[in-house]
Amino acid sequence: MIKILYEDNHVLVVVKPKNMPVCFDSSGDVDLLNYLKDYLKKKYNKPGNVYLGLIHRLDRPVGGVMVFAKTSKAASRLSDQVRSGKVCKKYYAVVCGYLCGSGEFRDKLLKDSRTNMVRVDPTGKESCLKYNVLWSNKNYSLVDIELITGRSHQIRVQFSSRGYPLFGDQRYNVNSKVGEQIALFSYYLSFIHPTTHEVMEFSEDIPNRYPFNIDI
């Protein structure tokens, strides 16, 4: 079951499970977008295809809060908010190594479409995030992250490029063990409702699993 946080005639806010693709891919696994279309079709007994607009993405291994648009008008307005930086997204991440304090990372990130890998490169797109360390020990640090831009693999690359790869990141952490789950979770999302113009805020508790709960 997919957890539904909010639904009206214009938007649908859900919690994406970890390891579920947002869209259909070559794996053939059930994807979130089509799962939710089927949910709407059955709930409202709709004939034919159901419209559901994809506004933003989460990497397959990453879970967390997402918003979808139930009308094309809502999709257009929410997409405009994403482009203009009016959608706020915050994450919890456990990085490898001792990190303290708070700060801001600014880099230019470039994606190689052939390998689906991202790297810091002077020809890349401007990328920025803010972070605050919640706890740390000699091995790991729990970080609260606010994305200022929303580039592909941004959090994973900006931390790994500074020597703090995410726990369980199979792409950017060379020391990650096979089968480890990436410690990244999108816990907070806010946006302006496309028709009522009300500020909508949604959040989820930190996952109660290793390594997020080391300090509990």
Give the residue among 94, 85, 203 at the shortest CA–CA distance from 148.
Answer: 85
Q: Is 59 a catalytic residue?
A: yes
Question: Which residue in the block uniquely carries the two structure tokens 């053939």?
Answer: 28
**What are the residues whose beta carbons fall under 8 Å from the beta carbon of 138, sequence distance 6 or more?**
98
Q: Which of 159, 191, 154, 152 is nearest to 173 (CA)?
A: 159
DSSP label at residue 49: -
Measure the CA–CA gap between 73 and 119, rounded to whole angstroms: 35
| Active-site residue (options: 38, 59, 80, 205) | 59
As beta bridge partners, residue 105 has: 129
**207 with 185: CB under 8 angstroms?**
yes
Positions marked catalytic: 59
